[in-house]
Copies of this chain bind each other. A is one copy, B any other.
Amino acid sequence: MIQIDGGVTAAKGFEAAGVEAAVKYENRKDMALVYSTVPCRVAGTFTSNVVKAAPVLWDRDVVENSPYAQAVVVNSGIANACTGKQGMDCCKAEAERLGKLLGIPENSVLVASTGVIGKQLPLDRITAGIEKLAAAKAATPEAGLDAAKAIMTTDTVYKQIAVQFQAGGRTATMGAMCKGSGMIHPNMCTMLGFITTDVNISKEMLQKALSADVVDSFNMISVDGDTSTNDTLLVLANGLAGNDEITTEGVDYDAFCEALHYVTTYLARKMAGDGEGATCLFEAKVVGAASKEEARILARSVVCSSLSKAAIFGHDANFGRFLCALGYSGAKFDPENVDLYFRSRSGEIHIFGNGVACDYSEEEATKILSDPEVTVVADMHMGKAEATAWGCDLSYDYVKINADYRS
């Protein structure tokens, strides 16, 4: 498997566009289209929030009940969540309009929205945006990049990736883009993620691979502990790579899963590192845990802890906060047996062991914690299970962004 340039248009048969529709933002691209020239198998995972945005309900229905999908239309600025029947009608109107323009059935059109909750979408501007998208779509890297930029909200960088892998003697390609910066605590974040691939794979195996993957990728990141109403991750597979259809586990399925995990982990880390107000990527790695599930619980607890995040922002080796977060995670362990380490490109130090602080240099600890990517490693000495979670530090800018997000 190799990483290549590009994003959602890297795989054969995929086109994209990003246009200005003034849904809420002015003078920037705020609507995106992903389109496949041929029908696609589709798989999806959605927010676990009881309050689900209208586009989540629409997409879940398409993923479960439509024979195939062929396009995704996305807007940023307004989430179309908590919008009742009018919100659902808007999804349908979007799918109808785009379907007509592209000559595909409305139930093959997926929709996604991200932004403020509780406001209705301006259907006239959305419709005008859809017309621009249909006219602008192209299979070029530039078009893919336009789409990746259009879906951003408080994101400071666009997020896309593409890889190639071998399946059944053919070279298959996978491209992806995502957005997500605040309200990020995917259980399945508002993260939106769109993965396109030309591999030939059955719907069942596509959903299986995606559902298994998110547990250790997107579901292991947290910016603020708030699970969005709009989290959506979709994979479209159009089969144009020409490999024999992947219908069972085996070498080809494994190659697909490896590519998928590379893409999802890359994007998950990108999202965490670009969390609202973040000055660094904060990684928690738990090793030696009794079980995989406990390892995940412990790692997530550390990256979700406000006090741990504030310590990372302050480059402060206040290790008690990390240990405290492990302690209230819900997992059982003996604190006397835990070893804690801080690690970054600047080095690694052992900070806690045998139940007490190690004899470490504060200066060295501060240097390690001042890197743009910081890892706290906890060795539980209970078993062989490992898990990694990703978050970011808690800064003044997080508060600033969220105290007046709507204005």
Decide yes or no: A310 and B403 within 8 Å by CB, A49-B324, A320-B79, A324-B226 being known contacts.
yes
Do residues A314 and B396 form an inter-chain contact, with CB atoms below 8 A?
A: no
Instruction: For A115, give the chain B residue with the smallest CB separation.
Output: B320
Given A84-B356, A352-B82, check contact A50 B335 (CB 8 Å).
yes
Selected from B319, B328, B356, the residue in CB contact (under 8 A) with A49 is B328
Given contacts A82-B352, A116-B320, A335-B51, contact A311 B402 (CB under 8 A): yes
Task: Please state if B328 and A187 are interface contacts (CB–CB under 8 Å).
Answer: yes
Q: How many residues of A contact B (CB 8 A)?
A: 68
In the complex, per-residue mask of A393-407: 1 if CB is within 8 Å of any chain B CB, else 0 = 011101110111111
Interface stretch among A9-17, A283-291, A299-307? A299-307
Within 8 A of B (CB), among A156-184: 182-183
Restricting to A49-100, which residues have a CB under 8 Å from any CB of B?
49-52, 79, 81-86
Known: A224-B307, A226-B305, A323-B51. A399 touches B398 (CB 8 A): yes
Q: Is the interface of A mostly helix, strand, loop or mixed?
A: loop
A321 CB–B CB distance under 8 Å: yes
Q: A320-B82, A321-B226, A396-B400 are in contact. Are A50 and B117 (CB under 8 A)?
A: no
Residue of B nearest to A228 (CB): B324
B116–A305 touching, CB < 8 Å: no
Give the residue of B50, B394, B403, B406 whose beta carbon is less than 8 angstroms from that of A313. Answer: B403
Which residues does chain B contribute within 8 Å of A79, judged by CB atoms? 320
A280 to chain B, nearest CB (A): 13
Provide a sorted-by-A list of 10 A–B residue pairs whose CB atoms are within 8 angstroms. Answer: A50-B333, A51-B326, A84-B336, A85-B355, A183-B307, A185-B328, A310-B403, A311-B402, A311-B403, A316-B406
Query: Once the chains bind, are B395 and A319 in contact (CB under 8 Å)?
Result: no
| Contacts of A215-261 to chain B: CB distance below 8 A | 224-229
A320 contacts B394, C-beta separation under 8 Å = no
Rounded to whole angstroms, the CA-CA distance of A402 and B326 in the bound complex is 18
Q: A84-B356, A116-B318, A327-B229 are in contact. Are A307 and B402 (CB under 8 A)?
A: yes
A317 to chain B, nearest CB (A): 8
In the bound complex, CA of A341 to CA of B371 (Å): 44
- Min Cβ gap A88→B in Å is 10
Shortest distance from the beta carbon of A259 to any chain B beta carbon, whole Å: 31
With an 8 A cutoff between CB atoms, is A331 at the interface? yes
Question: Would you call A136 an interface residue if the criterion is a C-beta within 8 Å of the partner chain's C-beta atoms?
Answer: no
Q: How far is the CA of A183 from the CA of B83 in the complex (A)?
A: 36
Residues of chain B within 8 A of A84, CB atoms compared: 336, 354-356
